[in-house]
Amino acid sequence: MDKMLVHGGHRLSGTVRVSGSKNSALPILAATLLTREPCVIHHVPDLSDIHYMLQILSHLGAQVERASGTVRIQADHILTTAPYDIVRKMRASVCVLGPLLGREKEATVSLPGGCVIGDRPIDLHLKGFEALNAAHRVEQGNVKVFAGRLIGGTANLRGKLGPTVLGTDNVMMAACLAEGTTIIEGAAAEPEVVDLANFLNKMGAKIEGAGTERIIIEGVRQLHGAEHAVIPDRIEAGTFLVAAAIAGSEVTLRRCAPEHLGCVLDQLTTAGFHIESAADRITLRSNGTPSPLHITTEPYPGFPTDMQAQMCALLSRANGTSTIAETVFPQRFMHVSELKRMGAEIELEGSTVLIHGVSRLSAAPVMASDLRASAALRLAGLDADGITEVNRVYHIDRGYESIDEKLNALGAQIERVKV
């Protein structure tokens, strides 16, 4: 197992290229199961989650070739069961349910279970499949969905904490090959859902309304192969912007999508940072100590929960008291105790944190609890006194392509060492 040593006090400047979106790439790769013809996907990030998805596709019978960020997949003959040994490594593997059900009218996948940021059940996925005339049963930790015929229907996929992104993806993929019209109400509006819909439409699907709360899918008899480039990762882009705010002078992001980062850019501007955006570039110039902020995480287009931990790190050094209310995953505050080990003054009150800004953070051994917490602890270490030791670094390999190399190219000093 590796750990990271983050040497504080090194200023960041320069240009960094944003990788393809993990949360787009995973369902898009799964969607290639909907056709027997080859599909070519570009800008696929080199991440452990991607490796696991490609393993699942290979196990299901797809031929997978990968080189330099491009993946070619042909799923001529496929199986319908994804085993626990692979699925347990990545919760998003549940998104193969939709394409397998759509194409083969049955699918069996091990239940993903909960995670450190809270329980994330697939009840809404199954509710959506039921609207397509599919049934399901759970046996020995596996969920099996099946249907004699898939028939279009109406499903509301908004849960008590908001819409389900993977559920929207799953039902949309299955509905592409259903008979008649499917309407998804309460659909997730994230750019990653739009990216998947665009890929499916290239394959011959008939989807309208992606990016709104109401998606309409006209079923077709079959889909064909297609070529597609994954959108830039907005959470990686946001993470680098926060890194620049914490420890930068002037940092430019290229191959990014500013239109996907509206709330993040607004909050950073309110905090006092100067930001310039172009078609596919964002430049942030640091302006010293940030002003305090009051943030509430919400489903897109609101402030993303996946940026909450990084903002906790930034606001730990703000000039005043900030608040962050977490409405998407109310338990997602495992990073707070680790930031406090570094000298942050943070109070947790239910699903809200009060962050009292301090003049300096100090290095300490810390433990990453999840993907975004791992990023936040690295960012805090950039401006801390001393060398911050971040353990459980495998979390960050799930969702950030070469993040330490990219930060080092901007002037950081981060080492990965074997334990």
The string of pLDDT tens digits covering residues 186-236 is 999 999 999 999 999 999 999 999 999 999 999 999 999 999 999 999 999
Mean pLDDT of 95-111: 95
Q: What domains are there in the chain, each with its CATH number?
A: 2-19+232-418 (3.65.10.10), 22-229 (3.65.10.10)
Q: How far apart are CA 349 and CA 351, in angstroms?
A: 6
State the chain's maximal CA–CA distance in angstroms: 64
In the structure, what pLDDT confidence band is assigned to residue 119 with cuts at 50, 70 and 90? very low
* 115 is known as an active-site residue: yes
Residue pLDDT, tens place only, 269-299: 999 999 999 999 999 999 889 999 999 999 9
- pLDDT higher than 70, residue 400: yes
Of 3-7, 117-121, 160-164, 276-280, the range with the lowest mean pLDDT is 117-121
Q: Which residues contact 227 (CB under 8 A, 6 or more apart)?
A: 39, 40, 41, 42, 202
Catalytic residue among 115, 176, 256, 263: 115
Looking at every residue in the chain, the average pLDDT score rounds to: 94
Q: Beta strand 365-367 with 135-139: parallel, antiparallel or unpaired? A: unpaired
pLDDT of 118: 42
* Token digits of residue 313: 């790190």
pLDDT of 112: 65
Residue pLDDT, tens place only, 138-158: 888 888 999 999 999 999 999
Mean pLDDT of 163-184: 97
pLDDT of 318: 97
